[in-house]
Structure 1
Amino acid sequence: MNPADHDRTRDRADAIRAVGDARRVSDVVFGTTRRRARYTGLVCAMVLGLTLSACGAMPRSGPVHKVIEPTEQTQQSAMPFNPQGPRVGATAQEIVEGFLAAGVGAQDDYSVARQYLTPQLAATWKPDTRVLIHSGEPTTVPRLNDGEFRTSMEVSGELSASGVLAKQPSGSTRVLDFVLTSVDGQWRISRAPDGVVVPQADFEKIFSPTNLYFYSAQDSKYLVPDPRWFATRSTTSTAAVRALMRGPAAYLGNAVTSAIPQGTALSRSAVPVSGGTAAVDLTLASFDPAEVNQARRMEQQLRATLRTIPNVDDVELRINDAPVDTSGGSDNDPIQAVTVPNRQIGVSDNKLAFYQGGQTELIPDLTLPEGVTLSKPGMGVEAGAFGFVDSAGSTVYTVSPGQQPRQRWSGYKPTRPSFDNLGWVWGADRSGTVRVVRASSEGQGDTVSASWLDDQHVASLRISREGSRALVVTTDAAATRSTVWIAGVVRDASGRPTELAKGNAVATDVDVDTAQWIGPDEFVSSALDQDTNSQPRRYTIAGKVDELPALTGVTSLAGGNGSAAVYGASDGRLYMLTGSSWALQSEEVTDTAFAG
C-alpha cells in the first residue's frame, strides 16, 4: 500500500495536534514572555537516547560520498552526536522531524541526514550552505497538499556557508518548507532547503571557532583575525584553507586584504596534517617562483590561520606541485597582536591624570576649557594627545600639552574618544553619526559613512589596536537591550577613514553600554550606571562568552592587555579584576581608559 494512503488518517490526527503545538509555540515566540525550550520527545530520543541497534542498519541505496584523505586529527574528531536514521514505516511528519534532528550529525558529510532524502536529493543537498541555531522547539505542520510540510522555529544565530556566525535578536524566526514522496514504500523528502538546524545548547559541541588571518589593507603590517565556525571534524584544516582562499568576511569589507590571489585552488582534495605539519598544496596559474616575498606572505597567512587548529604547529607550502622556499624574503614579519602601554588616563578631581600601579599623576601642561565637567577621557598610544567629553555640554574635546583645547563635535551622549594607530580620533553618539578628526589638525573633522547605523543609538565605539576594525555597541530606544557589532574600517590611500562596513553582530539582546578591546580577538563589556550589580563579560570575536565577577554600580570599564588588565570604576573608586573578585586600587582616580 502506498504510504500516503496507509498513513492518511494518522497524518490528519497528527496535523490537528501539530496545529495546537504551533499555537502554543507562537505564544512563546511572539508573547510578552519568551521561554527558551529544547527538543523533547522524538528529537531527544534520536539525538541522545541511542542504542546499539540504532547503528546496525546499513542503507541499501543513497548517494556516493567523497572519501576525505585521512589526517592525524581523524581519530580525535569524533562528533558528540550520532543521530538515528529513519525507521521503517515512519509517517511523513516523522521523516521531516527526524531529518531536522539529524542536523547534529556532521560526520561523514551528514550521511544520516541524507538517509531521510530521496536518492536524487541526497546527491545534491548541501548541508554546509547554512546552519540555523534554534532557541525554541521547531514546529512542523502539514500544508494543504499531501506530502507538503512547513517547519517554523525561533533562531538565535545563523552560520553562513563560509563559517561566519551572525547572532540574531530575540524573536527572529525562520520557515522551512518540505515536499515528500514515496521511495520503495517509505516516505522520503524530495525537496528541502539546503543547510541544517542545530539546537542552541548543542551548537558549540558540534562546531568550534577558527581564526582566519588577513593583512591590514592600509600597509599589510598587521595580521587581522576573521573568526569562522567549522564542524569539529577531520576536515577542519581543509575548510579553513578553502575559506581563506575565498577571502575575508563581508563585514570586514575593504579593511583587510589577502596575499592569496583570486583563482587559487587546492591541488588535492584535502589539507592533511601529519606530525603537527599541515601540507598545503596550491594551484596558482600566475605564480612566479622568483616572487619570494609573495610566497612568504601567503605562507605567513596560512600558518597564522592553521595554527589556530588543534594539533597544527606548522605549514608546508607547495605551489604548482613544487616546494616553496621563502627563506630569502625581505618583508618583515607581520604583527599579529598589538599591545598597549600599561599606563591609563583617568579623571582625578576634574583634571586629567595618568594612573599606573596604584599611583596617580596629573598630566602636566594641559589647558582645559573653563567650566567643563570631565568624563570619558581617552589618549593616543604615545600619550601625547588626549580627548574627553564635557558631560555638561555633551561636547568632545582634544588637547595636547602646551596647546589650547580644541572643540571637535557635540551630540547627545557622545562616546568616549577612541584614538587609532594612525592618529585619528573617533566618536559617535545616540544619533548614529560616526565622526573622525586628526588629533593634530584643526576643525571638527569628517563624518564617516556608516548608513547601517542611521538612527541607531551608539553607546560605545572603540577602534581595534591595528586600526582595521571597530567594536560598536548600539542600544534600543529605551536603552535597555543592546547589540555588540564588529565592523571593518575602510580608509583611503592616505589612511583617512571613509567608511565603517556593515557590522556583524557578535552579541544581541544583552545589557551592555560599553565594550573595550583587551586583545586582537577578545573584548570585555558591561552595563553602566546601574544601582544594582552589573554583569561584566568577556567575549571572543567569534561570540564565545564568559561571565566575569559582578561589580555594583559600574560607571566605566577599561581593558588593557588581556583579562589580567581589566579595570572597573564604581562610586568614585577604581577596581581591578583579580581572579574571581574586584580589588580596590585607588580612590584618587576614576573613569580610566587605556590608550586607543
Structure 2
Amino acid sequence: MGADRGRRGRFRALRTGMALGCGGALLAGCASMPDSGGVEPVEASPREPQVRVFAVPPQDGASPAEIVEGFLEALTSDDPQFAMARKYLTEDTSRRWQPERSTTVLADGPNTDPNGTSNDRDGGGYRYALAGEMVATVDEEHAYQPEQGSYAKSIHLSRQDGGEWRIDALPDGVVLGQSDFERLYLPVNKYYFASGSSSDEDGAQNPPAMVADPVYVRQRIDPVTQAVTSLLDGPTNWLNPVVSSRFPTGTALKKGTKALTPDDQNRLTVPLNGQVDGVRPDRCAKMAAQLFFTLQDLTPTGIEQVELQRSNGTQLCVLDADQAEASAPNRSVGGPEYQYFLDAKHKLVRMPKNKDDVEPVAGPLGGGERQLRSAAVSRAEDRAAGVSNDGRSLYVGSLLSDGKLDKTEVRSRAAEEKDRLTKPSWDGRGDLWVADRDPKRQRLLWLAQGEGKPVEVKVDGLNEGRINAVRVSADGVRVALLVEKDDKVSLKIGRVERQGTADAPEVSVVELRPGAPQMEEVTAMSWAGGSRLVVVGKEAGGVQQLQYVQSDGSVVRGPTLPALTGVTDIAASEDERLPLVAHSDEDGIVRLPPGANWKTVVKDGSSPVYPG
C-alpha cells in the first residue's frame, strides 16, 4: 500500500499503479510492473501530504491478483465514501462491507502471503491471505488503540457473470500501512467537561475542567464536519465514565447539512437538530465552548467565533475566543508564571518562564532547613510539596508567605532510598499524588487538597509492576505512570475515577493502556498539552531520544526534538508555547525554547517541574 507495501520478498509484487496521473506527472505510489520476469525491489516515492491520491476502477480482464492489489490501493486514496474501492467488490459484498467499522494499521503491509493464496478447485474462486504486523486499530468512534501481534485475514474472489473477477468476501473495515495512515488521517482533540465533582453542574461558580479526547479523522475528507459529528456523538468509551457533554442526548447536525466551513473571518455556523431548540443560553455557551476548542487546530488560522443554530435556523448562541476561555479555566492562555527546580542545596527555586534568572521561592521550601530530593508545585502556584532528601517523608508548604512546613502522614518504610517516595504531582483539582515504591508495600497515594489522611488508590492492571513515577493531567481525570516490571520501565495511561463521600473518598485508576508502545524503555515523562506527553526513552536497540506522544499511544507528528544526553527528568507545560525543562547528568538543568536548542541554566540542580 503505497510506501508501506512493495517489498514482497520472494514473490512477485502485485502493484498496478492506482494513483491518478501515473501516465503524466509522477505521483507518489505510482509504479508499473512487467508481466513477467524476476522480482526487483522498487522504492516508492514518499507521498507528500498536500498531494491528493485518487483510485481508478478495475481494468477489463484484470486477474485476481490485480483485483486484490487494486482494491488495497483504492483504500489508500482520498475517496470520501470508498466508492472506487467498492467497484472491486461484488454488488452484494459492497452493500455489506462497512469500511467505517474500523481501520487496522500495519507496520509494513498489508502483504499478500503466498503460502496462504490458493484457488478453489470446486468453486472456481481464489483466496488471498493478507499478513502484516499490527501497530494499531482505529474503531468506529475514531479512537486509536495500540495493538501488537500478527495480522492474518483473507480476501476471496469469484468470477462474475460477465467473466470479470470481483471480491465476494473480505473483513469489515479498512487495512492500511502506517505511512498511509499518517498521510490520510489527522489527530483531533474533542473536548468534554470533567465530571464527578460538585462543580460539574451548569451554573457552578467554578466550572469543571475541559478534557481532551483524542480521535483520528480523515484529513482531506472535510475534517471540520467529521470532528463536529464525532463531538456530537459523545466521548470515546475509554473516557466516557469521567467526562460529560453539554449537548443534549441525540444532538446532531440539522438534516441536509453537507459540510461545515468557516467564513473568511474564521466564523463557523453550526445548524443543529431539534434536540437543542430549548437549551438555555448558559448551557449553549458551554456547548459552543466544546466546539470552539475542538475546532481550534483544524484550520490554518483557527476559529474566531462559533454560532449554534436551532432547527429552524434561528440563532441559539454565539461564542467568541474570550468567552470560550472563560468557560474552560484549565485552557487559559496565560500559563504558569514560573518554572521550578531544586538547586545545589536541595532547596526549591524558580525562574520566570522566559528568563534564566533563578531565585528562591518564598516560604519554607525555599528558605527553610529541610533539604528535598524532589518537589511539585500546585497549579495555582500558591503551594508546593516536597519529598525529604532521604525519600521517606512528604511535606507541604506555602509559596506565598513564610510559615511552617507541614509534614503529611505519608511515610515510606523502605530500607533503600531508591525504593521510597516518588516525585509528587498535583492535579487540576488541587489534590496531591505520590507513589511509595517500598517492595513490601507498594502504594499509590492521594491526599485531598494536599492534606489529611492519605487514601490508597486502587490501580487495576499493574500486574505486579511497580510505579516509579506519577504525573496527573491538568484536568484531573487521567494519570501517567512509569511502571517497572521485569527490569523494564514502560509508560501507562490510566483513567482516574472518584467515588465515595467527602468523609470517605474512594479513588481508583482503571483501564491502564500503553502510552509509548514503540519504546522499549522509558526514563522520564511529563504532560505537555491537552492529550500530549513528552517522553524520554529508547526503542529496541536504539539510543535515548525525546519524543512527543498522544495519551492514546500514537506518536505526535512534527519536528524531532533536539537530542540531549543523559536525561533523567523532564518537565513541560500544558501551554505548548513554553519551553521544555530537563535535567541531564552531563549538562544539569537545561531549557528548550520553541524553535531553539537546549541551553544550560545551571550545572548543579535537579527535579525540574512546572506547576502540576
TM-score range, shorter chain: 0.7 to 0.9
Question: In the aligned structure 2, how far is the partner of 1:398 from the partner of 1:89?
Answer: 77
**8 Å CA contact 1:461, 1:472 repeated in 2:** yes
**8 Å CA contact 1:380, 1:419 repeated in 2:** yes
More helix by share: 1
Secondary structure at 2:488 match in 1:
coil
Count of residues in correspondence between the two structures = 528
Q: Report percent identity of matched pairs.
A: 22
Task: Provide the residue aligned with 1:250 in structure 2.
Answer: 237
Q: 1:299/1:406 Cα in 2 relative to 1: closer, same or farther (>3 Å)?
A: closer
**8 Å CA contact 2:146, 2:514 repeated in 1:** yes
Establish whether residue 185 from structure 1 lines up as the match of residue 163 from structure 2.
yes
Amino acid at match of 2:235: P
Q: 1:426/1:368 Cα in 2 relative to 1: closer, same or farther (>3 Å)?
A: farther
Amino acid at match of 1:518: A
Task: Provide the residue aligned with 1:116 in structure 2.
Answer: 88
Amino acid at match of 2:169: R
Question: In the aligned structure 2, how far is the partner of 1:584 from the partner of 1:200?
Answer: 37
Aligned pairs for 1:16-95 (under 5 A) are 38-40=5-7, 42=13, 45-47=16-18, 51-52=22-23, 80-95=52-67
Amino acid at match of 2:271: D
Question: In the aligned structure 2, how far is the partner of 1:387 from the partner of 1:328?
Answer: 38
Match of 1:326 among 309, 313, 317: 317
Amino acid at match of 2:592: L
Question: In the aligned structure 2, how far is the partner of 1:459 from the partner of 1:45?
Answer: 52
Q: 1:250/1:428 Cα in 2 relative to 1: closer, same or farther (>3 Å)?
A: farther
Amino acid at match of 1:376: S
Output the aligned Cα RMSD: 3.6
Question: In the aligned structure 2, how far is the partner of 1:327 from the partner of 1:315?
Answer: 6
Secondary structure at 1:326 match in 2:
strand
Amino acid at match of 1:288: G
Task: Provide the residue aligned with 2:465 in structure 1.
Answer: 456
Task: Provide the residue aligned with 1:202 in structure 2.
Answer: 180
Aligned pairs for 1:236-247 (under 5 A) are 236-247=223-234
Q: 1:325/1:362 Cα in 2 relative to 1: closer, same or farther (>3 Å)?
A: closer
Gaps of 5+ in 1: 1-35, 55-76
Aligned pairs for 1:3-402 (under 5 A) are 38-40=5-7, 42=13, 45-47=16-18, 51-52=22-23, 80-137=52-109, 138-140=111-113, 141-142=116-117, 145=120, 146-169=125-148, 172-183=149-160, 184-217=162-195, 218=197, 219=200, 220-269=207-256, 270-273=258-261, 275=263, 276-285=266-275, 287-288=277-278, 291-310=280-299, 313=303, 314-326=305-317, 333-335=327-329, 337-338=331-332, 340-356=335-351, 357-361=356-360, 364-365=363-364, 374-389=372-387, 392=390, 395=392, 397-400=394-397, 401-402=403-404
Alpha-carbon distance, 1:564 to partner: 3.7
Higher relative contact order (CA 8 A, sep 6+): 1
Question: In the aligned structure 2, how far is the partner of 1:452 from the partner of 1:369?
Answer: 40
Alpha-carbon distance, 1:518 to partner: 3.0
**8 Å CA contact 1:473, 1:483 repeated in 2:** yes
Alpha-carbon distance, 1:267 to partner: 2.1
Q: 1:573/1:111 Cα in 2 relative to 1: closer, same or farther (>3 Å)?
A: same
**8 Å CA contact 1:157, 1:168 repeated in 2:** yes
TM-score (norm 2): 0.76
Task: Provide the residue aligned with 1:550 in structure 2.
Answer: 563
Secondary structure at 1:272 match in 2:
coil
Amino acid at match of 1:257: S
Gaps of 5+ in 2: 26-48, 201-206, 398-402
Q: 1:326/1:153 Cα in 2 relative to 1: closer, same or farther (>3 Å)?
A: same
**8 Å CA contact 1:426, 1:437 repeated in 2:** yes
Question: In the aligned structure 2, how far is the partner of 1:258 from the partner of 1:232?
Answer: 24
Can you list the C-alpha shifts for 1:245-266, whole angstroms capped at 9, x where unaligned?
A: 2211222232221011222232
Question: In the aligned structure 2, how far is the partner of 1:265 from the partner of 1:362?
Answer: 51
Alpha-carbon distance, 1:328 to partner: 11
Alpha-carbon distance, 1:333 to partner: 2.6
Match of 2:609 among 590, 593, 596: 593
**8 Å CA contact 1:131, 1:160 repeated in 2:** yes
Amino acid at match of 1:398: Y
Alpha-carbon distance, 1:310 to partner: 1.8
Q: 1:328/1:108 Cα in 2 relative to 1: closer, same or farther (>3 Å)?
A: closer
Task: Provide the residue aligned with 1:9 in structure 2.
Answer: none
